[in-house]
Structure formats: structure tokens, C-alpha cells
Amino acid sequence: MNIRKFILTLGFTALLAISASAQSKIGTIDLRKVFDDYYKTKAADANLKEKAGELDKERKNLMDQYGKTRDDYKKSLDGANDQAVSADEREKRKKTAESKLLEIKELEQTIDQFDRQSRTTLEEQQRRMRDNILKEIQVVITTKAKAANYSLVLDTASESFNKTPILLYTNGENDITPMVLKELNQSAPASPIGTK
């Protein structure tokens, strides 16, 4: 048995034993549903898509420039091998082709760097958005749990390391998902996110 699974199982069993002996109230929440249905999540997703679209446009411009430079290089290279022109002209075209080749290599590096930086920027923005939204959700969960005198709130959407449900049964009696969502979305703008 994996030591991680053993510790998790032992901890969960101890938690249940303690909660049973203390006659504690346990609440449940579908955190995935709350996160997905929170209006700020939808707004943040729309912002991320907009940012990704802007980055895609920038990348397309770079790729267009790369394609044009590559075409210019091929023309210059063909011109450098054209026996119908003078040796001086072929040499001049050869130098132009070499210059275009250097430009191609610089553009390849620029595109690679742009891709890495874009990916990092989007990942960091998504992480910050997720962390901020989860903090807001947790504040509301804590408030609702304290008001209902719950000593513990379990996430019904959570999964184990093996992608199996952690919470195997709940009668839904102490589900605070609708209350939390209602409070989070009460300050939502009147028009749906993403429409103008």
C-alpha cells in the first residue's frame, strides 16, 4: 500500500472517529460547481480567453513575418545561383540571402521566446485568478459553516489520487452549495458576462 494512501486513509478515519464521538455537524459542498458557476470565474475565463486571443494575433503577425522572410531568403538564394546575372550580382544576392538567413534564425528565437513567455503569462494569470476566487469562496463557506454550527465541511466533488471520489455517500441534507452560490452571485452584474 502506498504510504501516501495509508496516511490519507488513517487521517480520514481518525477525523471521522473524532467527529462521531464529538457529535459534530458535518456540511458538504460541491466546490467544483461553486467555482464553475461563480460569476467572477466566468468573467476571469472571458478575460483569459481575450488575452489568449491577443497573444494569438501577435504570434500570427510574427509567423507572417517569418514566412515572408523565409520566402525572401529563397528568392535571394535562387538569385544567387542564377547564372544569367553577373558574378558581382550573384555575390550581392548571396550576401542578401545570408542576411535573410540570419533574420530567419532571429525570428525563430523570437517566436520560441514569445511562445514560452505567453504560456507563462497565461498560466500565472490563471493561477492568480483561481487562487483569488478560491479565497473568496472559502470566506463564504466559512461564514455559512459557522452560522450553521458545522465543525467540518467536505467537498463532494473532490477526488483521491486515483481519481476516485473521496466522499462516497451523502444524503445532501447538509449541502451548503446553493447557499454559497447565492451569496457569491448576489453582486453579479445584470448582463451576462461576455455580452456587450
pLDDT in tens, 63-119: 999 999 999 888 888 877 778 878 888 788 888 888 889 999 999 999 999 999 999
Residue 23, classified by CB atoms within 10 Å of its CB into exposed (0-12), middle (13-18) or buried (19+), is: exposed
Q: If pLDDT is split at 50, 70 and 90, which confidence band does 18 have?
A: low
pLDDT of residue 97: 86
Distance between CA atoms of residues 87 and 91, nearest Å: 6
pLDDT at 195 over 70: no
Number of residues that this document lists for the chain: 196
**Which comes out higher in pLDDT, residue 20 or 48?**
48
Return the number of other C-beta atoms located less than 10 Å from residue 108's C-beta: 13
pLDDT of residue 118: 95
Give me the amino acid identity at 166: I
